[in-house]
Amino acid sequence: MATRYYIFKLEIVGDFNYSYEKHRLPDGSLSSAPAAWISLLEDHYIDCFKDQKLPTWSLNSHSSILDFIFCDSFSYNKIHDVEQAYLSNNWTDHNLLGVTFLYDDPNVRGPGSWKANPFLARSQQFRSALAKHLESRQPAVLEVQTYSSPQQTWDWIKADVKSYIKSYQLADNNWRLKTLKRLQSKRNMMLRQSKNRGLYYQVLETVNVQISSLQESIAEIQALKAGKQWREKGEKHAGYIKRTAMIRETQRSIHALTDPSSNSIYEDQPNKLRIAKDFYTALYQPDIVAPTDIQELLSSIPANLRLTSDDRSFLTSEIDFDDILAVLKDSPRQSSPGSDGLPYEILNLVMRFPPFKDIILTIFNAALDNAIFPDSWNDSIMTLLKKKGDSKDMGNYRPLSLANCDYKCFTTVLNRRLMEVCPKLINSNQIGFIPGKYIAENGLRCQILMEDAELKWTLASQQGTTSNLDRDIGLLLDQEKAYDRVNLSYFRAVLNRFGFPESVVNCLHNLMANNRIQININGYFTDPVAKLRGFKQGDPISCICYDLAFEPFLQNILQDRDFRGYVLQNRQDPTSPEISTKLLCYADDALVFVHDKQDLRLLKYYMELFCRASNARFNYSKVEAFSLSGRDTSGFWSRSLANMNISHLYTASDPTPLTYLGFPLIQSTIQRNNFMATFIGKLKQTLQPHACRSISVLGKATIVNTLLLSKCWYIFRVTPLTQKDLQQITSVAIQFLKKGIYPVIPWRIWTLPRSKGGLGILDVQLQYAALYFRWISPLLQLDSPLSTDNPLLIMLTYHINNHNRSTHHQLPLLFPVARQQFTTRRRVNTMDTIYKSIDMLPRNYDSVEITLPTGLMLPLSTVIYSSQQSQAKLPQKIHSMTVADVFQVHPNLHFLHWKNPTDPSLTVWKRAPRQLIQGIESGSYRLQPFFLPLCIPSSAAALPASLPTLRPFATHLTTENALSLTSSGCRSKSFREACSVAHDVPNHLAIIESSAWNFFWSLSLTMVQRNVVYRYINKCIPHQSLLHRMFPSVHLSSLCAVCSSVDDSIDHFLFHCPPKLVVWQGIIFEFLWPTVTIDDICQSLLSLDFYNVRYSQRPRAPSHHIIFITMANIWKAHYRYIFNQIPFRPPTILNTIRRDIQKMIEEDSIHAIL
């Protein structure tokens, strides 16, 4: 029966261990290989090297061809190059074979755009060479200036610099690699010679020695560099850890695109380039706009929203060189350059070249005053970033324009000026890219409105009046290519309406118009596309430009008195003004609050008007609507929403929450649970690449802080979470930290600062409270909502008062007893989180001094408490009473005293006042120390009369906790430190100085070295006595596993076990000082003070490093004995320690040289 072979596209590679020349028999078969194998190769596969093959194996004077690469016939036709390289005979006696195939891959990446290596700018040699080159080119620059404009001259200079850097980079390649490649070619040429073979073979060994020397030198340098780099960065730099753990992914590629004209899918590169070009040609072609529509849209802008004459003068003032230098100093180090390939680092050197100062100033000021730009400023490369949705749809890619860095330098100068004057033109609800604004502000405002609407419904449900309630909803608007569709004629009209100088209007308009864009598809570029509308995403100035372009639409809604939005009231003070919130916006992400169907009709009208005037386009099918209260009001809204192509109204009954600006809009417990389940899954996925890595406690702490918990801080600023939610996040961190460590290090030690012996991991609950305290600290300074124009602070004060039926928002914050819960709560809310945050701060108001008016306004429960000896509870009615209900001011002596029992005002409280008086007289109840002085004539009379204020309590709370309050809140670190004052540091850590801890963390150590030392200090060594006590059924004895003579202990495990003691004695004798004892070493480790063991017989090997290396090797040898039954032999371990010490010395030496 004939054997059937299934041939696939594959390569057969390896050491075949036979030679066709030496093992071929007369009948054609081989003496050392099965006939079927030979037949398979000869019938279906081809030797990739064929006649180019040279001996692949050599030993002494013998050589032969034993190594082969076979491929199928299809792959053979795709061979681009074959390579045979000699390897050092210290490594192997075989050569290295390599084959390069070029398959017809439609997704093969093109060359992309050239980019100068930004790290060249850090090389003193390159900087000197570039300066010499620029100096030598000065005559040519002067000649070019005679027949060129300044803009043309500058483009010529950049092209010349680009050409120079290209040649420099080619010449600067590593000389070792270049020499190695030349020697390999020389060796292969000698082996192919048929004449004078004997002469060539005489010098062949010399070439082999040279190749071997270079290979070993390169490998040694790379190994030493890697070792030192890992010890320095591998556990301290999160980015380095992340990069070393990630599997190198293929570059992002667009595999296929759909042609919208034929609905056909194309995978070949030419058609993908055509589809991309056609898409953006159409996108950047402006639609005709009617001047009447523009005029109508702009008519809603209030007359006072115009730049002043000072603003216009500031914008048009001359650009000086300091402005440019300031931008270059702050420029990002990893910004991608544009078509000229010059990154900021290189451009910085060129623009600082003194002879170029005048031409650069001329170009920048001509651009500002006359809108005249270098031609290269009109060229951009567009890279596409995948968004959600079908990857074959060009509309699902976000275009990012890579403009030249000198262009971005100019637009940054202009942007800084605009940022000084434009915030006064932008309404307070738009916080996108506005200085001093933070994205989470709008997230919290939305959260407050949702909770207020829910509170209204809850109260109405208790009273049975839900039929009269409003049915407010929110609409998350979605625009299609918002930045790319802005009509530039409309944008010019907007700038004129805001009163921008004509020169600035022309400059901004021309910067965005007449651009040429080349789209990068898998490293290949389309022909230039004319960009005749829209802003360039990635341009520093595009963000504020879009804010200005979008503002007229927002102003139409804000200025329309018939558009109500959501109305928030201070229900405890009818005199307080209502807050009508019609919209919240972050750049183009707009959230509009709709009160009724008239609001919805007006919104639709303004959306259509904005589209007609500006070329904008709303994706109605992607607009998301949600009930503010969480109640199902779809019966009221469904038809109106359907007319806008909105098919669903999200309510509390939906399983998952909507997301606004990255914050989940949670309206039910189910939504929160589902959100947390998904979020926890993502956190675990983040840790998965690092779970099996050999990382020390320091590396683990770095990963948890920067790669895991950093994902939580953003949502923590707004989203109310339960204690259980925070514990889930903490549990994910703990499970990762304790893996491979037993006994486990307690969580409280992980979260201690590193200067106190901890690992500096941020406590999840404490950081959550710290981030929320950002919103609380400004409220503590605010006596009344009328004293601020910040809408968020006003909303917070109303929200606190409404939830507590309080007239002073500071009372519930400062006094927990003043808080009220008068509804059945459906879920955790903002108020719960605010309370948890401020309650973490230690507070003691005993020394606070207050005035009589302040004392009278306080809730009665805040000034009275039950004594420790008394079991009496305060009457329930006390919690509803104020001090003024039972106290009054003496008209002559100016102190507080009890009202007369016959006072009619006391009758409403029935027996409560009498019980209170009797309790105070009997000592069951006592007055708070801060209140007691008000009841003493001599003390109270000295206090000046003033308006009531709770500022003394707030000031005392923050001062005592060393918190600095500002309008933007206090630093989260200060809050954490204030809350951690009472946290005890374990004695074994407290005895170590902070400087010693800082020194220990700064050392470049391996994983085992750092772990063993830190675990020893924290008494977390798994010695046999502990294991026997904890797991007696597994560990049957408490005796030492190595010597089996005494019960094991921490010190015995690492030091006093006889075989290990021999190792220490050898290290002391050979490397340390003979007078050093084991007790000295133990004491130095437990104090991290190595003064008593400071002497080392190896000057380049510090004594502490010798001790750490010894401990690590004892640890590893111990567990090799436990798990692999490899005997614990002191001579072997001493040899390993010697090698590790020498390796450390060499790594440090090569690092110092490089």
Rounded mean pLDDT, 1126-1131: 96
Could you say which DSSP state residue 286 is in?
Answer: P
pLDDT at 250: 41
Give the lowest-confidence range in 107-111, 149-153, 526-530, 1129-1133.
Answer: 107-111
328-367 pLDDT tens trace:
999 887 778 999 999 999 999 999 999 999 999 999 999 9
**Residue 1154: pLDDT above 50?**
no
pLDDT at 225: 57
- Measured CA distances, 1029 to 129, 173, 954, 1036, 1149 (Å): 70, 62, 52, 9, 47
Which of helix, strand or coil describes residue 401?
strand
> How many residues are present in the chain?
1154
151-171 pLDDT tens trace:
999 999 999 999 999 888 766
Q: Cα separation of 209 and 205, whole Å?
A: 6
883-898 pLDDT tens trace:
999 999 888 888 898 8
pLDDT at 1025: 96
For residue 72, the tally of other CB atoms under 10 A from its CB is: 16
Measured at the CA of 1101, the angle between CA 1097 and CA 1104, to 5 degrees, comes to 95
For residue 52, the tally of other CB atoms under 10 A from its CB is: 12
**Residue 221: pLDDT above 80?**
no
Cis peptide before 743 (omega within 30 of 0): yes
**Residue 520: pLDDT above 50?**
yes
Residue 146, sorted as left (phi over 0), alpha (psi -120 to 50) or beta, turns out to be alpha
The model carries a pTM of 0.86
Inter-residue contact 549 to 439 (CB < 8 Å): no
pLDDT at 824: 60
pLDDT at 668: 94
Which of helix, strand or coil describes residue 904?
helix
Inter-residue contact 1097 to 1151 (CB < 8 Å): no
Average pLDDT value over all residues in the chain: 89
19-30 pLDDT tens trace:
876 767 777 677
Which of residues 119 and 1079 earns the better pLDDT score?
1079
Rounded mean pLDDT, 319-323: 96
For residue 322, the tally of other CB atoms under 10 A from its CB is: 8
Q: Cα separation of 1109 and 93, whole Å?
A: 35
pLDDT at 508: 98
**Closest listed residue to residue 91, CA positions, set 183, 204, 223, 185:** 223
402-460 pLDDT tens trace:
999 999 999 999 999 999 999 999 999 999 999 999 999 999 999 999 999 999 888 88
Could you say which DSSP state residue 555 is in?
Answer: H
Which of residues 456 and 33 earns the better pLDDT score?
456
Rounded mean pLDDT, 656-668: 96
Give the lowest-confidence range in 558-562, 621-625, 826-830, 1008-1012.
Answer: 826-830
Inter-residue contact 554 to 590 (CB < 8 Å): yes
Rounded mean pLDDT, 518-526: 94
**Residue 172: pLDDT above 70?**
no
pLDDT above 70: percentage of residues in the chain: 91
Q: How are the residues of the chain apportioned to helix, strand and coil, as percentages rounded to the nearest 5?
A: 55, 10, 35
For residue 805, the tally of other CB atoms under 10 A from its CB is: 12
Token pair of 868 as six digits = 């420790």
781-792 pLDDT tens trace:
888 887 888 999
For residue 453, the tally of other CB atoms under 10 A from its CB is: 25
1019-1040 pLDDT tens trace:
999 999 999 999 999 999 999 9
Strand 515-521 relative to strand 529-531: parallel, antiparallel, unpaired?
A: antiparallel
pLDDT at 184: 80
**Residue 506: pLDDT above 70?**
yes
Which of residues 644 and 250 earns the better pLDDT score?
644
For the chain, domain boundaries: 11-101, 118-192+200-227+238-252, 430-487+535-667, 668-762, 771-843+964-981, 852-956, 988-1153
709-726 pLDDT tens trace:
999 999 999 999 999 999
- Measured CA distances, 471 to 248, 635, 823 (Å): 52, 10, 20
**Closest listed residue to residue 852, CA positions, set 766, 769, 938, 943:** 943
Q: Cα separation of 672 and 722, whole Å?
A: 9
Name, in order, each residue with C-beta under 8 angstroms of 417's C-beta and a sequence gap of 6 or more.
314, 315
Using pLDDT thresholds of 50, 70 and 90, give the confidence band for residue 150: very high
**Closest listed residue to residue 735, CA positions, set 710, 769, 703, 770:** 703
Using pLDDT thresholds of 50, 70 and 90, give the confidence band for residue 941: very low
Q: Which residues pair with 382 in a beta bridge?
A: 401, 519
Label residues 723-736 b or e (16+ Cβ within 10 Å = b): eebbebbbebbbeb
Which of residues 202 and 674 earns the better pLDDT score?
674
Q: Which residues pair with 866 in a beta bridge?
A: 925
pLDDT at 237: 60
Most confident range, picked from 387-391, 477-481, 822-826, 940-944:
477-481
Which of helix, strand or coil describes residue 1105?
helix
231-251 pLDDT tens trace:
555 565 655 555 555 544 444
CA dihedral 15, 20, 22, 27 (to 10 degrees): 140
pLDDT at 789: 87
Q: Which amino acid is at 515?
A: N
Rounded mean pLDDT, 1044-1069: 96
Name, in order, each residue with C-beta under 8 angstroms of 894's C-beta and a sequence gap of 6 or more.
852, 937, 940, 941
Locus of tokens 């118009």:
513
366-378 pLDDT tens trace:
999 999 999 999 9
Locus of tokens 């594959």:
10
Helix (H) or strand (E) holding 625: strand 624-627
- The helix/strand count (H/E) of the chain reads as 46, 27
